[in-house]
Amino acid sequence: MFGLLEESGFQRVKSAVVPHFRFRKESTQSSAEAFGVKAVMMTAVKPANL
Amino acid sequence: MTNAADAQASLELVLKDEIIRMYEEVADNPEAQFHFYHGREAAEMFGYPAQWLDRAPPGAVSSFAGVGNPHERADLEPGEIVLDLGSGAGLDSIIASWSVGPEGSVIGVDLNPTMCLKAQAHAEASGTTMQCHEGRMEDIPLPPGTADVVISNGVINLSFQKRKVVQEMFRVLKPGGRISITDIVSGKQLTQSIVNDPKLWSS
């Protein structure tokens, strides 16, 4: 997603992991961790001079 | 279309139905347990202040199925036009409408027309308004340069065409506009069996 935002023209792309996010079911959480699945918050700006 | 394109189109249709079914189930049976957290429990987990959750209509809170708090970094200002992409039962739209005030506006877009009606009813019950348009995030039903801010909470990961979604967010933003989104990402390439399982996409 970070790369897609930059490639699409967004600037000042920032991301951070959402603290405390987890799946309710332990089996789902374990699978998610195995695949590096996490929740992130992202901000970005469309350039003003378009 | 090629066979691969046919297969993806077919899977997208199945996925669309599964997503609608899953989110309707959350909205209609908020007391049920899903393998993701939802409702007030999830909102509190992500730092939504109790006063927001007390003030919002119970139906909007109990149907919340986000994965974070896009308001935390949205820095919404009075008078701004906000697009809530995948507005669901409307909790994030309602909170945004409080931030932008009566001189601003909130536009929701959701795949499911039933959820649009719910979101609008919840907004009205909370003493505010929002317009909600049925539509796909890959083809946002708004003209270019509409919004000052796009918020979104846990829906972009549901799209097969994330590049198109990002391009659409860019298109509908005004120059100088911004996004504040929370979503699920994967650090590894998912296996084809996971990609082909609509239940996993919507869970």
Q: What token pair was written down for B12?
A: 């997208």
The ranges assigned to domains in chain A are 2-45
- State how far the Cα of A43 lies from the Cα of A45, in Å rounded to an integer: 7
Question: pLDDT, tens digit, for every residue of B21-41?
Answer: 777 777 777 777 777 888 999
**In A, which residues are within 8 Å of B173 by CB distance?**
46
Q: What token pair was written down for B73?
A: 């970094």
B interface residues, A as partner, C-beta within 8 Å: 33-37, 45-47, 67-70, 72-73, 154, 156, 162-163, 166-167, 169-170, 173-188, 190, 194, 203
Question: pLDDT, tens digit, for every residue of B65-85?
Answer: 999 999 999 999 999 999 999
> What ipTM is given for this predicted complex?
0.93
CATH code of the domain in which B65 resides: 3.40.50.150
Determine whether the interchain pair B37/A24 forms a contact, defined as Cβ–Cβ distance below 8 Å. Answer: yes
Please say if the pLDDT value at position B93 is more than 60.
yes
Containing domain of residue B134, as a range?
3-201
Residues 6+ positions from B64 with CB-CB distance below 8 Å: B38, B39, B40, B42, B43, B88, B89, B91
Amino acid sitting at position B155? V
Domain count, chain B: 1
Q: What token pair was written down for B24?
A: 């309707």
- Output the pTM of the full model: 0.88
